[in-house]
Amino acid sequence: MQIRMLGRSGLAVSELCLGTMTFGNTTNVQDSTRMIHQFREQGGNFLDTANVYVSGRSEEIVGQAIKDYRSEVVLATKVRMTTSDHPNGAGISRKHIMQSVEESLRRLQTDYIDLYQVHVWDHLTPIEETLRALDDLVTSGKVRYIGCSNFLAWQLMKSLACSDANRYVRFISIQPQYSLVSREMDREVMSLCLEENVGVIPWAPLGGGFLTGRYTREEPASGRLTSKAGESSWALRGTERNFAILDAVRAAAKELDKSPAQIALAWLLQKKGVTSPIFGASTLEQFADNMGAIGWTMPAEVWNQLDEVSALPSEYPNRFIDKFARPI
């Protein structure tokens, strides 16, 4: 497992991050714990959870599993979503952040969080309030670094500018949805991250399971993608464009004797700007398959084919800017 630096920081993380959203739900405690231990044994040190995953149960499982080697792990969790039904039970106000971090620390059985992430932008709370609260948590030692997730480019840049102007800690990473079938962040967010050296740790790198190759052009009778709502719904995934991308993934998998999931993850691992794709697994078999994405390099011609078939259409203003780019 290769080690990479996360954004503009000295934090060293493994090239894959183990996501734990299914832990305590579709993945039982025993298998969840085994995945964490096997991930560590194979060189992984980066774990991602959130305070709302399975109503906090994911954090509890992670905390119990790593308590004997806590210092070796880079532990990431999140704050923002609704945790109680009172008016201050959601968002990124100082009140909600300070309450949520204590609850997460208790569930995780630790006295610090390595990477504390804002789960999504909060239109009701001034970003200055949020960043001051997060800065206080870093100063207190309860949090080591901060990151964000699901931000628009202007929201990320406003946050970075606010931190710089007030000498608060900066977001060192962003966790966006990003995969061969979801490349919207290429419009503006990725170039911003490269410019400001913000680490990118994508969620849903397999398109919610679509890029595993288990689905056909006929709507599946069962499986996660039958959901009628959410980013990984069949309505969003089961498009002809996405199936053209999946066809290319299958062809690459056959050529390189890899699984479709390994191809999709390997493409991200070699994508400029991406630090650690966050993969999840419901079963130990899925976990083993995903781990097969490391330890080899995809040939440039195959990578380029996947990049071309999945690229967004040429759009303004990038199209206009590229036209007048000065040669170096």
Q: What is d(CA 178, CA 206) in angstroms, rounded to the nearest whole number?
A: 9
**Structure tokens given for 236:** 């969003």
* Domain boundary assignment for the chain: 3-209+271-296
Of 26-40, 196-210, 224-238, the range with the lowest mean pLDDT is 224-238
Instruction: Give the pLDDT score at 62.
Output: 98
Q: What is the pLDDT of residues 95-111, one digit of tens each?
A: 999 999 999 999 999 99
Main-chain dihedrals φ then ψ at residue 273, nearest 5 degrees: 100, -20
| pLDDT at residue 41 is higher than 60 | yes
Q: What is d(CA 52, CA 57) in angstroms, rounded to the nearest whole number?
A: 8
Prediction pTM value: 0.95
Closest listed residue to residue 73, CA positions, set 46, 41, 103: 46
Q: Yes or no: say if 104 and 81 are a contact pair by the CB < 8 Å rule.
A: no
pLDDT category at 228 given cuts 50, 70, 90 is low
Instruction: Give the pLDDT score at 325.
Output: 83
Q: What is d(CA 65, CA 43) in angstroms, rounded to the nearest whole number?
A: 16
Closest listed residue to residue 307, CA positions, set 136, 157, 190: 190
The residues annotated with a catalytic role in the active site are 53
Look at the block and give the residue holding tokens 């004997």. Answer: 68
What is the distance of C-alpha 190 from the center of its chain? 14
CATH architecture of 3-209+271-296: Alpha-Beta Barrel (3.20)
Instruction: Give the pLDDT score at 219.
Output: 65
Q: What is the pLDDT of residues 156-186, one digit of tens each?
A: 999 999 999 999 999 999 999 999 999 999 9
Closest listed residue to residue 130, CA positions, set 115, 119, 140, 141: 119
| pLDDT at residue 227 is higher than 70 | no
| pLDDT at residue 69 is higher than 80 | yes
Of 101-110, 206-215, 279-288, 306-315, the range with the lowest mean pLDDT is 206-215
Q: What is the mean pLDDT of the chain?
A: 95
Average pLDDT over residues 67-79: 98
CB atoms closer than 10 angstroms to residue 251:
16
Average pLDDT over residues 22-42: 97
Q: Yes or no: say if 12 and 54 are a contact pair by the CB < 8 Å rule.
A: no
Of 5-9, 80-84, 234-238, the range with the lowest mean pLDDT is 234-238
Q: What is d(CA 174, CA 118) in angstroms, rounded to the nearest whole number?
A: 9
Instruction: Give the pLDDT score at 16.
Output: 98
CB atoms closer than 10 angstroms to residue 144:
18
Q: What is d(CA 33, CA 16) in angstroms, rounded to the nearest whole number?
A: 17
| pLDDT at residue 222 is higher than 80 | no
Q: What is d(CA 227, CA 220) in angstroms, rounded to the nearest whole number?
A: 11
Cis peptide before 317 (omega within 30 of 0): yes
| pLDDT at residue 229 is higher than 90 | no
